[in-house]
Amino acid sequence: MIRNVLGSVLALTGAAAAVLSPFRDWYDGRLGRHYRVDELFTGITAGRPGPLGSILVAFLFAALLAVVGVVLRSRLLVASAGVVVLGFTVLWMVRQGESVGSLTVAGDGSGLGWGVAGAAAGGVLLLLGAAVMSGRRGAGHRSVHERHDRPYAAPGSENPDTWPPTQEPGPSVQTSTLPEPEPELYTGPDPAERHRPVPGSGPGSGSAPDADGRPQG
């Protein structure tokens, strides 16, 4: 999260620097937006292009890529924006050097201006932002803490004694939902035996059974 925020800040700062650079001097007091895009491929001329034909259009396109990349957290789009900015800046320097013979830097405003430095710095910041960003993570790229925080899955019925996951013995599984039968607490004689007639104790016999069912006499 912190890497995405820091990378987004670097990328947006680089995009802003790249867009503002054509409004500053690039060489001998000439603004960057006064160079045509096609001059970077055919050669520098003294003509001034319209708003849609200057190098500013390329940098606006790169800034748009950077903003979309930040919103989508796409490192590829942000890096592509940095490559576009640096690529057009280096290509301009090559064509400008071919036009004047050599590139110079002077304190009186002649030679390379701050606009070129702003464009180059913007491209570098875009690449740094893409490198710092962590990008989007899929479901299979969870962090270590997220994987450790997930609860353990309960064991199936085929392994009832493997819970908890320390492999220590656990309670066996109960196969019935009914309560277990309680043991019989009565320990005396069977009540049915008390009412069972004793041979020889019926009517006509000479003796009557006692209280325990045994014949008397």
CA angle 155, 158, 159 (to 5 degrees): 50
36-78 residue pLDDT tens: 998 888 888 888 887 788 999 999 999 999 999 999 999 999 9
Task: Determine the length of the chain.
Answer: 217
Average pLDDT over the chain, rounded to whole? 77
Residue 171 backbone dihedrals phi, psi, to 5 degrees: -65, 140
122-135 residue pLDDT tens: 999 999 999 999 87
| Cis before 164 (ω within 30) | yes
Query: Looking at per-residue confidence, does 109 or 99 come out higher?
Result: 99
User: In the predicted model, what is the mean pLDDT of residues 173-195?
Assistant: 60
User: In the predicted model, what is the mean pLDDT of residues 165-187?
Assistant: 57
pTM: 0.62
CA angle 19, 123, 48 (to 5 degrees): 45
Q: How far is CA 151 from CA 162, 164, 166, 208, in A?
A: 15, 11, 14, 76
| 28 has pLDDT over 80 | yes
